[in-house]
Structure 1
Amino acid sequence: MRSELQTYRTGDSDMVLDLTDDCASFVSREGDGLLHVFVPHATAGIAILETGAGSDDDLLAALRDLLPADDRWRHQHGTPGHGR
């Protein structure tokens, strides 16, 4: 098993960050196996989807509809909507 740590800084707004090239580079040095991607933070997530053609915006819109960034959340520190 081989592990590699990658660090990404995404800023203060919701966004889709495409990790495809980094993942492809990692597995290109390996034979058969599994790729495990882990995000050790509560306000980040991993989605597997076809990017482009509006799917990035569709995902962000769905998350905004499902989890609005307002003050309804009990977990409230930092910016408004942080607990979502």
Structure 2
Amino acid sequence: MILTLEEAKKFLKVDFDDDDDEIQDCIEAAEEYLKDATGKEFTIENKRAKRYCKILVNEWYKDKGLMEEEKRQKRVRFSLQTIMTQLKYGD
């Protein structure tokens, strides 16, 4: 596990429990995505993997329709791509 539900809710600034299942689904999908993309398993100690999952969970949770202004999408994609490259080829 890279990211806990509590960490994700804090990052998302969610202080209610109604969306816990949705947030947990986003966490699990983000961790699966990271594993499939890098071929590596990451733990909660890896700060870049944690940041990657937080960003991805935020994008998926906040923008369920995946419709967002182009400038923000490009910035997020660049951040995720940079972190992914480091995770894929780093230790």
Question: TM-score, normalized by length of structure 1?
Answer: 0.30
User: Which one has a bigger Cα radius of gyration?
Assistant: 1
Bigger relative CO (Cα 8 Å, ≥ 6 apart)? 2
**Structure in which a larger fraction of residues adopt helix:** 2
